[in-house]
A and B are shown apart, each in its own frame.
Chain A
Amino acid sequence: MTEVSMTVNGKPVKADVPDNTLLVQFIRENLRLTGTHVGCDTSQCGACVVHLNGKAVKSCATLAVAANGADVTTIEGLANGEMHPMQTAFKENHGLQCGFCTPGMIMTATDMVARYDANGKELTEAAIREELEGNICRCTGYHNIVKAIADGASKMASS
């Protein structure tokens, strides 16, 4: 067992966990933040994406102890009260159906927009599709997710 402490969605948290505890287990089981999902066991599907010190990571491929001292944001902490522009864009573009991949998609999307913005690169449809390499959706055929991310990027730019 190891004591880990980190900031999750702005709140300091601390717990004794077995060394092999994954960050996603820590988030789901210890903190009971169940918006972060587990859809596979090979770090392929991206349902577990959270932000670790501002960058998108797959929390199923990160040990909780490796996040010690880190600042973690999950889907529950993306917005304060109001919906984040990307969340609004997913709703307005029907970018979700069953909702299971959605938190990971949104955490990936906001990271994607921030990176392209920081690098001054244009987030084209082709770029969005390529950037979604690590996120699998079985419901939407991606069409409306791609539209939602483009729309979310515009909304983020103007917010």
Chain B
Amino acid sequence: MSEGIGARVLRKEDKRFLIGKGRYTDDIIEQNQAYAAFVRSPHAHAIVKSIDASAAEAMDGVVAVLNGAGLTGDGIGNIICGWGVTSKDGSPMNMGAWSALATDKVRYVGDAVAIVIADSIDQARLAAEAVEVDYEALPVVVQSDAALEDGAPQIHENAPNNLIFDWEIGEEDATDTALAGAAYTTEMDIVNNRLSPNAMEPRAAIATFNEADDHYTLYTTSQNPHVARLVLSAFYNVAPEHKLRVIAPDVGGGFGSKIYIYPEEIACLWASMKTNRSVKWTSDRTEAFLTDAHGRDHITHAKIGFDKDHKIVGLKVDTKANLGAYMSLFSSATPTYLYATLLSGQYNIANIHCNVKAVYTNTVPVDAYRGAGRPEASYVMERMMETAAREMGVSPTELRRKNFVQEFPHQTPVIMAYDSGDFAANQDQAMKAADYADFEARRTEAASRGKLRGIGFSNYIEACGIAPSAAVGSLGAGVGLWESAEVRVNPVGTIEVLTGSHSHGQGHETTFAQIVAERFGLPTENIQIVHGDTDKVQFGMGTYGSRSGAVGMSAIVKAMDKVEAKVKKIGAHVLEASEDDIIIEDGAVKVKGTDKQMLWHEVGLAAYTAHNIPEGMEPGLKETSFYDPSNFTFPAGCYICEVEVDPETGTTEIVQFVASDDFGTIINPMIVEGQVHGGIAQGIGQALLEGVVYDDSGQLLSASYMDYTMPRADDLPSYSVHHQSTECPGNPLGMKGCGEAGAIGSPPAVINAITDAIGNNDLSMPATPAKVWAAIQAASAKQAAE
């Protein structure tokens, strides 16, 4: 079947985007629509003494100015983190109060204190500037290590020393003992730089309260509209679930930042009820930098030990994770269960211990951003492995190979049970594709041109397909992480698949249709994927953590199993054959070994006319499934980056980037390659270009595209992308997930390559020309001194 599993089917969703007919939230206009602008704190930390909106309220077009006192007075609840993490002393995490509109105190620059509703956006913005807020500025802290020091500014009363939790995983004593007995050890300080996700579509919301039936509709830029509805209803008390419809129409990228339920959506819903107007808010880019959850921001010290044969004996990691001023929805899970559980990498390590302190600072909340914890783990592990190889004077590829996990399932000391993989095969494929054997000749040739050429490796592993509900529940998750699907066969045989996954660039309308096409032998044009509307799809957990293939598509498979079973019963009945002899292929239901058949649409019609179906069978052909995965999935791969550095300027050019990934079964290679390309670009962005910068007073210095360096086309190479797949045993399609791998695997490869080129391992991300140049100078000075 040319459109089935493994086919490079062109995307069904493309046309509307190509002709300018996509429908993003900001493209929608509701009747009686007003516009919202937020009054935001210019201080990183201050007491709100008073708010005087009288001048603003008198301005042209202003409908209302609403503040936090009114919001909490109406019973709107605080924003919560949905994953409880317990400190090693058994105490629960110290979650500080977060009101959608600040009442007593502001805790980061951009914290919202009031919402202005006006007839036009210009009127709303002008009026927001006219709201007088009297602040009493407080001392500020922006770095996690400084925030933990005695005497640091106290951000939330219930989090002494700004410590949210002090968590550990693994056996500390055993790890210490193993490291004490190691023949070789490598220790490093590793910083994972803070990033801004920067989906190209800024966040937006349109909230409409209908007083006729006390019903709300929210259009929002969400990766998981059902979770948004659940949280808005159950925790924020905006409206009961049956009185709240959440629609995430076309969404222009997410990368994690559109998982969370932000103050703006809550405030717009509430304001819509207060003003009896539709209230629309669209973030501008500066506002996005100031309010979209940031990613990463870890300060880590790590030590790894090897025996005399270079086998790893132990790994000890100490991390301080900056969670910003408030705990965002998954913020506690990202630097713990999505990070420390992956510190075993692709390696067989008997002893691992990791301690994580999560810390409040006067910065934007930090949460999952593409990869979420796994890029941080991969960066620690793969920088350590490369550095250890250099220190021990052994080949970085051989050192890794010697330590690869080779038998599956493999239980690591940090929760995860790897189910499949062939790490050596990925490495072989990558090395061959990169022509590693000939690298030294290329290095020599580059030197003749005055360029420093280097090569770096990264063998990443990650955990996707989140997640078994009971397992994550036992670890503190507030929700189950299954997925739902409904397969509706229409009387004419066309099919609608309703899914709780949400596509915001991933191409679900195509890949999800492909698995249906494969199963029933139908053209993908006869299959429509429906998602993103809580009135259409009953429930779902949304798209993040590379879960839509392994979990979302598995739910569709389970629903198709039920459809198939019913179709076979109808077929057997109508064709007067045994159910066991019925097969479905090429869009027809056939009796094996005969020429008797019903065309697919004839089965649909039979099910709905119900003139001739088995006695006792309900009419119709529609089945639902809720699929809960049995394990995480474990995509893994080997990335190789080759760079040339200009020693005169410190400029790095990536001359080759090779990826060899194991994603399990691939539904559409074209789309998978696209996901890898985009992930690698974000990883290279982190390694070379991107970094959120706060000054000591908590002002965000990198709040525009003039200041925050987004990767552009001429910063990046073309990528050499390969697959070496082992089937995932944990789900019916054998899929592992591909959405985040690129961003997880690439940063260490880039930094390993640059440090190889310049002969100085002391280099932090982003490796800007200034930093690389300084590192080259330091290496030269050291060499001269020796």
Mark A residues whose CB is within 8 Å of B.
18, 20, 28, 32-42, 44-45, 47, 74-76, 78-79, 83, 87, 90-92, 94, 96-103, 106, 125-126, 128-130, 132-133, 135-146
Interface of B is mostly: loop
In this complex, how many residues of chain B approach chain A with their Cβ under 8 Å: the count is: 57
CB–CB A138/B674 < 8 A:
no
User: Hey, which chain B residues are within 8 Å of A41, CB to CB?
Assistant: 284-286, 704
Q: Considering only CB atoms, which chain A residue lies closest to B20 in the complex?
A: A35
Cβ of B345 within 8 Å of any chain A Cβ, yes or no, is: no
Instruction: Decide if A42 touches B17 in the complex (CB within 8 Å).
Output: no
List 4 additional A-B contacts (Cβ < 8 Å) besides A37-B201, A44-B705, A101-B200.
A28-B27, A42-B705, A45-B285, A78-B19
Please, which residue of chain B has its CB at the minimum distance from the CB of A134?
A: B712
**How far does the Cβ of B49 sit from chain A's closest Cβ, in whole Å?**
31
Give, as a whole number of angstroms, the nearest-CB distance from A91 to chain B. Answer: 5
Are B19 and A139 closer than 8 Å at their CB atoms?
A: no
**5 A-B contact pairs sorted by A residue (CB < 8 Å):** A18-B122, A87-B18, A98-B504, A99-B18, A142-B712
Instruction: Determine whether the beta carbon of B22 is less than 8 Å from that of A42.
Output: no
Residues of B within 8 A of A (CB): 10-11, 13-24, 26-27, 29, 122, 198-202, 250-253, 255, 284-286, 504-507, 670-671, 673-674, 677-682, 704-706, 710-714, 716, 718-719, 742
Sorted nearest first, the 4 A-B pairs with minimum C-beta distance are A35-B20, A99-B17, A100-B252, A141-B681
Cβ of A145: which chain B residues have Cβ within 8 Å of it?
Answer: 713
Contacting residue for A140 out of B10, B202, B674, CB 8 A: B674
Q: Choose among B13, B22, B27 the residue with the greatest number of A CB atoms under 10 Å from its CB.
A: B22
A123 to chain B: closest CB distance in Å?
13
In the complex, the answer to whether B20 meets A138 with C-beta atoms within 8 Å is: no
CA distance A75 to B716 in the complex (A): 27
| Cross-chain contact A100 with B677 (CB below 8 angstroms) | no
On whether the beta carbons of A138 and B710 are closer than 8 Å, the reply is yes
Contact A98 B714, beta carbon cutoff 8 Å: no
In the complex, the answer to whether B199 meets A98 with C-beta atoms within 8 Å is yes
B678 to chain A, nearest CB (A): 5
Give the residue name and chain of the B residue nearest to A141 (CB): B681
Contact B285 A97 (CB under 8 A): no
A102's closest neighbor in chain B, by CB? Answer: B17
Q: Which residues of B contact A20 (CB under 8 A)?
A: 122
Please give, as numbers and ranges, the residues of chain B lying within 8 Å of A103 by CB-CB distance.
Answer: 17, 20
B residues near A101, Cβ cutoff 8 Å: 200, 252
Task: Please tell me which one of the listed residues B21, B507, B718 contacts residue A35 in the complex, with CB atoms under 8 A apart.
Answer: B21
Cα(A136)–Cα(B201), bound, Å: 11
Cβ of B200 and Cβ of A45 under 8 Å apart? yes
User: In the complex where A100-B24, A138-B255 touch, is A132 in contact with B714 (Cβ < 8 A)?
Assistant: yes
- B20 x A98 contact (CB < 8 A): no
Supposing A101-B200, A136-B710 touch, asked if A79 and B504 sit within 8 A by C-beta, the answer is no
Closest to A74 in B: B20
Let me know if B674 and A94 touch, CB within 8 A: yes
The answer to whether B18 touches A138 (Cβ under 8 A) is: no
With contacts A42-B705, A136-B710, A142-B713 taken as known, whether A92 is within 8 angstroms of B10 at the C-beta atoms is yes
Distance between Cα atoms of A126 and B14 in the complex (Å)? 26
Chain B residue contacts of A74, Cβ below 8 A: 20
CB pair B713–A129 under 8 Å, yes or no, is: yes
Pick the contact of B20: A36, A128, A136, A137 (CB < 8 A): A36
Question: How far apart are the CA atoms of A44 and B285 in the complex, in Å?
Answer: 10
A residues near B713, Cβ cutoff 8 Å: 128-130, 132-133, 135, 137, 142, 145-146
State how many angstroms separate the Cβ of A93 from the closest Cβ of chain B.
9
